[in-house]
Amino acid sequence: YRLGIFGFLSTKDEVIKGNMGLKDQVMALKWIQENIVNFGGDPNQVTIFGESAGGASVHLMMLSPMAKGLFHRGITMNVAGTSDVWHFKQDVLITKNSVAEHFNCSTKSEEFAQCLRKVDEDSLASYNLNILSWNNFQ
């Protein structure tokens, strides 16, 4: 699933909705439901497991109506999905604005999205490290 600005950047409107990383995980669960019988599995006995950020993902999947019925048990270790241990350093709009400033993009949602499409993925990935935070290491 996509991480950082690739998976969780948002303009807080319909342009870049955010949470694409979690939506990627829901798509994976849908794929499992559609294909598990081909691997000898039971679509009614799907268990998901995650540790650390994966544990938070499991917790969020357990809470999400989008994932309802796609798995039947969840095992989470170390982090709750509602914990503030891992997140963007600041409010998502401040993060969006800092990304816009760094890449000389407008902060207007449509123009921002168009501008980001022109930035190469290596530059985005490098900048991604600047906006992620682990509160326990600050």
**72 by DSSP, 3-state: which?**
coil
Which amino acid, 136?
N
Higher pLDDT, residue 79 or 27: 27
Average pLDDT over residues 10-22: 92
At 51-90, the pLDDT tens digits run 988 998 999 999 999 999 999 999 998 766 555 555 544 5
Residue 60: exposure state from Cβ atoms within 10 A (0-12, 13-18, ≥19): buried
Cα separation, 94 vs 98, whole angstroms: 6
